[in-house]
Amino acid sequence: MPELKLDSDVQYLKGVGPRRAAALGLAGIKTVDDLLHYLPRRYLDRSMIVPIGSLQANMQATIIGMVLGKGILKGRRQRLEVVIGDDSGYIALIWFAGYRYLEGYFKKGDLFSVTGTVTYFQQRQIVHPEVERIEDEAAQLIHTGRIVPVYPSTAGLKKAGITGRILRQMVSRALDAVEAGIPDFLPDSYLTEHCLKTLSRAMRLIHYPEKMDDAEAARRRLAFDELLELQFLILSSRKQRNKASKSHAYVKPGGKVRQFLNKLSFKLTEDQEKSARKIFADLQSDRPMHRLLQGDVGCGKTVVALLTAVYAAENGLQTALMAPTELLAEQHYRNWVEPLREIGIEAALMTGSLTKAERRRLDDAAAAGEIDIVLGTHAVISESVRFKNLGLVVIDEQHRFGVMQRGRLIGKGMHPDTLVMTATPIPRTLALTLYGDLDISSIKTMPPGRQPSKAVWRTGAARQEIYEFLRERLKSGEQIFIVYPLVEKSEKLDLQAAEDAYIQLKEQVFPEFKVGLVHGRVKREKREEIIKAFQKRELDILTATTVIEVGIDIPAASIMVIEHAERFGLSQLHQLRGRVGRGGKRGLTIAVALPPVSDLAKRRLDMFQASSDGFKIAEADLQLRGPGEFFGTRQHGLPELKVANLAVDADLLPAAREVIVNLLSGKRAPDNDDSMLLKFLEGRLIGRRTMTRFG
């Protein structure tokens, strides 16, 4: 058998073989190096194990117990109850969702590790805990004080009989075989400067820490490696892109820009003016613009984007503005088509709902240059769409588009200027990570008269009280949104559906008021009809799914109720809140959470209630959810962060960025250490399509 190396096929590791190697391959483990980078998701530490008899309400704990019994219990909410115990006592584990699958997972006499929050309802219990079956060997290790790594599992691994114990054996053998030969691309000077472990030592400690601090030190080393590679990819792509020159040019703003500004019924805020000046300066450069415009819902980003499009049209260039939903694209078109036409600029709406004849007409008009601004959805990236002279691309709510989609739109022009917008303010650390190749403008001030929206959260037990409050507000002439997370019932999530709720609200709760329903599956014509009726105050209540998160602007709507608020992320709650209070009257959002409400959900809802500052909300959301959920890096075309956590590694990011900036600056000749690191990072890009922010 050949000597094992990091790039050796994992099947040659003792105890693996072809069958297990196939299952490992489906989990992304093809080489010995892949196996070593298949990191524990947590650790079982004897010092962290609490005897079941010592558990108290509201305690967050990890326990080890044997299954004593189980059963599906009937009642107001059907649930699975599993009773586990140790020498000191027993406790019930409760699941309200997914219990049909889980029921078969528990067998009497099996030993489980359980993590969760203890509550009390007729008995001590843990609702929806994190559980893992542990083998006899693992139990023995735990009880002798050993820190045991717990690895992620998949259905394929389980089917192949690759348990946690077997994975631990594989990793141990791999480390014994290759640890001494693990090369380190980080020179000693970098390790010393940033207090990092060598790579071989980090690999040993991440899998088999002697104490929990060892695991964290090892994780930080691997996190630094990830951030280095990410920053190298971003900044080298930016350096390469900045070599490009655009073929179009801009003269100073003229008549159409002035006419557009004069037609506005308001004066731009200081932040809007500042952002517009920076954008105009970018456009006048001979390099393509790549700028991110961020700010809260309602801060006026769209006006800045349209002003930019007017400037492009004034210079004989076309603009494509891509929005994530038909609702938002329709609203942009409805609001701006006439004001633009009055100053001699032609806008058109392009969505998937158009007939073939309408699409053909628009495609021909765009190709002939007869349309100055195309407002649309994904339809604008269709192969049939051609532009005569596309000079500006605007991408609204850009994180909702994949890198390939953005790239296809930009590819319809010759190095067009690009403006991307987001109403989810981005924390600085995340902006450096995901948008390091963009210039960033922020609009932090709201238009005059726009008051901060108030938010409160209540449990489902307060629903009748909430309905009475809403009835009084409806009688005084206010309009209300009621938002639900799904369109149809989902047995898995047990969520109340918008369609069912609409019927109940219309027929039973508010029969004296007019109620409408809108969601993504309502046909475009019907959807427009409903929204216009709500705008004209012909409807009192609009029941909707999160399709209204972006795209509905109803100035008279001052109250929103968000049902199942415990299911929403903090930034999404904040986005929804931005839909009310846009007409001068202070908005009110009532978030209704149904039990079980996890500690994490309570923290989200408390923060939502405490602050209306989108930038503070974004920072808190990053802390609570981590960057992987805040914005999926795959949407950005970047390598996924598997180890680095920007909520806790904020100090590593600028350090990694500084290393790469110095490497790429060309201000000094690279020494041996720099050359070694640069060679490694360039090698990591071989075989990978060089990705920029836009493809």
Say yes or no to pLDDT of 206 above 90. Answer: yes
pLDDT value at 314 more than 90: yes
Between 397 and 108, whose confidence is greater? 108
Residues 6+ apart with CB under 8 A from 340: 260, 306, 310, 346, 347, 372, 373
DSSP codes joined into one string, 136-199: HHHHHHHHTT--EEE----HHHHHTT--HHHHHHHHHHHHHHHGGG----S-HHHHHHTT---H
Tell me the H-state helices in 246-388. Answer: 255-263, 270-284, 301-314, 326-342, 356-367
Q: Exposed, middle or buried, 416 (CB in 10 Å: 0-12/13-18/19+)? A: buried
Packing angle of the helix pair 524-535, 326-342 (nearest 10 deg): 70
> Are domains 255-443 and 454-611 of this chain identical in fold?
yes
Amino acid making up residue 536 = K
Of 83, 74, 218, 224, residue with least CA distance to 646: 224
Q: What pTM was estimated for this model as a whole?
A: 0.66
- Whether the predicted pLDDT of 689 surpasses 80: no
pLDDT of 666 higher than 80: no
Q: What is the pLDDT of residue 694?
A: 35
Domain locations along the chain = 43-150, 255-443, 454-611
Element (H, E) at 232: helix 212-241
Q: What is the pLDDT of residue 640?
A: 66
Spelled out in words, what is the top-level CATH class assigned to the domain 454-611? alpha beta
Mean pLDDT of 591-611: 87
| CATH code for residues 43-150 | 2.40.50.140
> What is the CATH number that goes with domain 255-443?
3.40.50.300
pLDDT at 635: 43
Q: Which two tokens stand for residue 8?
A: 């050796």
State residue 198's pLDDT score. Answer: 95
pLDDT of residue 630: 44
Give the span between the Cα atoms of 665 and 7, in whole angstroms: 32
Closest to 457 measured CA to CA, from 603, 607, 591: 591
> What is residue 135's predicted lDDT score, i.e. its pLDDT?
65
pLDDT class for 442, splitting at 50, 70, 90?
confident
Given pLDDT bands bounded at 50, 70 and 90, which one contains residue 446?
confident
Over pLDDT 90: what percentage of the chain? 37
CA 407 to chain centroid, in Å, comes to: 20
Confidence of residue 687 (pLDDT cuts 50, 70, 90): very low
Structure confidence at residue 437 (pLDDT): 59
Quote the DSSP letter at residue 16: T
In terms of average pLDDT, the best of 240-254, 489-503, 675-689 is 240-254
pLDDT at residue number 495? 44
pLDDT band at 25 (very low <50, low <70, confident <90, very high): very high
Quick check: helix, strand or coil at residue 211?
coil
| Average pLDDT along the chain | 83
Instruction: Pick 100 or 627 by higher pLDDT.
Output: 100
507 DSSP 8-state letter: I
Over residues 547-561, the pLDDT tens digits come to 665 556 677 788 999
Question: Can you state the angle between helices 326-342 and 255-263, rounded to 10 degrees?
Answer: 110
Greater pLDDT, 687 or 616: 616
36 versus 630: which is more confidently predicted?
36
Residue 514 is predicted with a pLDDT of 94
